[in-house]
């Protein structure tokens, strides 16, 4: 197996079985959904980079309409299916194992795109370009993106991001990008940093303890990287984080 594949496999193993594979919060998601303008009856929904389905399940429950849940990890999609069955929501979840940057769906066929913590994988700009054509007239996208909370970012954070996420922008930079990419921004909402800890990093810490020293060198490297990420975030959570952008296709 190639180095990169081993790395992805280790990342999936570390995040497997968790409710969320990235920062987010169910109550916050419900708040965001309340801000979405009225949807047509039985809206056509897609959760892109759905992981084990934290967002897809909330959307299915709220709209009682089919959610296309896309991820390239079969393991996460199977976990989503199991969770959907447990909640009696399986008829509303269609899992699709593919690349979120290469969706061959007919243009104009989705009413609501939802994507948490995943767009950066194809760059935020790339996600806006790839997903805009999928939306029906007046369709809505909700995308969370990691960004700087102001233009006054310390040198150490900028240095860290050179490695961690070189494409990172400020919130206002992302608003400008969205507004010049065939969308109009309807809402900008920061995910509280508490949600990172309560729903993502704490469960990850437990998983890391459970793995202990048992994993191979690749998983141990992924664990160290994750621990560094957590400790850097602890010191700088006022400088950067996830922002949820609600936008309408125009």
Ligand X SMILES: C[S@@+](CC[C@H](N)C(=O)[O-])C[C@H]1O[C@@H](n2cnc3c(N)ncnc32)[C@H](O)[C@@H]1O
> Which residues of this protein are in contact with ligand X, per CB under 6 A?
20-22, 24, 49-51, 54-55, 71-73, 76, 99-101, 116-118, 121-122
Helix (H, G, I), strand (E, B) or coil at 23: coil
Compute the distance between CA of residue 221 and CA of residue 207 in angstroms, rounded to an integer.
15
Q: Which is nearer to ligand X, 140 or 142 (CB)?
A: 142
Q: Which is nearer to ligand X, 24 or 139 (CB)?
A: 24
Compute the distance between CA of residue 120 and CA of residue 127 in angstroms, rounded to an integer.
8
CB of 11 to ligand X, least distance (A): 8
CB of 128 to ligand X, least distance (A): 15
CB of 41 to ligand X, least distance (A): 26
The backbone region for 117, taken as left when phi is positive above 0, alpha when psi lies in -120 to 50, beta otherwise, is left
Q: Which is nearer to ligand X, 43 or 49 (CB)?
A: 49
User: In the structure encoding, which two tokens stand for residue 162, read together?
Assistant: 């050179």
Query: How are strands ordered across the β-sheet holding 110-115?
Result: 93-97, 67-71, 45-48, 110-115, 135-148, 240-249, 183-190
Among candidate residues 165, 174, 179, the one with its CA nearest the CA of residue 22: 165
CB of 242 to ligand X, least distance (A): 10
CB of 115 to ligand X, least distance (A): 7
Pairing of strands 183-190, 240-249: antiparallel
User: In the structure encoding, which two tokens stand for residue 53, read together?
Assistant: 């389905």
Q: Which is nearer to ligand X, 176 or 198 (CB)?
A: 198
Q: Which is nearer to ligand X, 20 or 68 (CB)?
A: 20
């Amino acid at each position: 197996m190639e180095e990169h594949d081993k790395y992805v496999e280790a990342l999936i193993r570390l995040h497997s079985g968790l409710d969320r594979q990235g920062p987010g919060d169910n109550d916050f998601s419900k708040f965001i959904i309340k801000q979405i303008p009225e949807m047509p009856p039985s809206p056509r929904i897609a959760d892109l980079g759905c992981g084990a389905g934290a967002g897809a399940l909330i959307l299915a429950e709220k709209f009682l309409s089919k959610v296309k849940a896309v991820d390239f990890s079969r393991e996460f999609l199977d976990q989503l299916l199991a969770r959907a069955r447990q909640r009696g929501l399986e008829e509303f979840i269609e899992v699709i194992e593919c690349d979120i940057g290469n969706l061959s769906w007919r243009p104009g066929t989705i009413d609501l795109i939802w994507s948490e913590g995943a767009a950066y994988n194809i760059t935020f700009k790339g996600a806006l370009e790839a997903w805009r054509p999928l939306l029906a007239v007046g369709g809505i996208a909700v995308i969370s993106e990691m960004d700087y909370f102001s233009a006054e970012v310390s040198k150490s954070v900028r240095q860290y991001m050179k490695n961690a996420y070189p494409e990172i922008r400020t919130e206002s930079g992302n608003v400008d990008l969205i507004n010049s990419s065939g969308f109009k921004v309807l809402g900008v909402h920061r995910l509280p940093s508490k949600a990172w800890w309560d729903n993502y990093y704490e469960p990850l810490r437990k998983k890391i303890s459970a793995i202990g020293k048992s994993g191979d060198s690749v998983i141990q490297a992924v664990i160290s990287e994750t621990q560094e990420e957590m400790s850097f975030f602890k010191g700088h959570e006022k400088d950067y984080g996830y922002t949820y952008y609600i936008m309408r296709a125009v």
